[in-house]
Amino acid sequence: MRDAVTNLIRNYDISGRYLDRDAMDSLKDYFASGNARVAVATIVSGNAASIAKEAGVKLFEEVPELLLPGGYAYTTRRYSACLRDMDYYLRYATYALVAGSTDVLDERVLQGLRETYNSLGVPIGPTVVGIQIMKEMLKEMASEAGITNTGVIDEPFDYMTRQLSEVSV
């Protein structure tokens, strides 16, 4: 897993260039948002189970057909799998948030997820809705904790939903 700093240096090294003003500005932005990133990760680590569970409740309120016979979350096993997956997305979004890079999402979540969901016939639309619900919940929790830079939360969650939405699953 690479972070924002490693990615930036790697890209400049590959092209044989010295760090320029754009690179320095990018580094400044990353480090300036560091406290917010760590504070949000702390919120997640203390509340991950409840975030995933509450997001699941909200998801099933928005898409109740998931709980009906034939719906993806109809049985207890499938319901539990849905909550497990939501926790999985939350955990990796937190890694990406702290790293300031979405590389971990590509490497650990999105590549294998597409094939798995295809083979199981899991609908991607509700997955995207659930990820966005968690993002909004986390932004609200961060605001309540006094974190003013909640924009750092958007990148990993929006990246996952954008990548999942672009693929015909």
Annotated domain spans of the chain: 1-32, 34-165
Write down the pLDDT at residue 54. 97
User: Structure pTM?
Assistant: 0.89
Q: Hey, what are 1's tokens?
A: 């897993």
Give per-residue pLDDT as tens, 19-58.
999 999 999 999 999 999 999 999 999 999 999 999 999 9
For residue 126, how many C-alpha atoms fall within 13 Å in the half-sphere facing its CB?
A: 25
Residue 107 DSSP one-character state: I
Judged against a pLDDT cut of 90, whether residue 168 lies above it is answered with: no
Does the pLDDT value for residue 117 go beyond 90? no
Q: Give CATH for domain 34-165.
A: 1.10.490.20
Q: Which of 70-74, 83-87, 114-118 has the lowest mean pLDDT?
A: 114-118
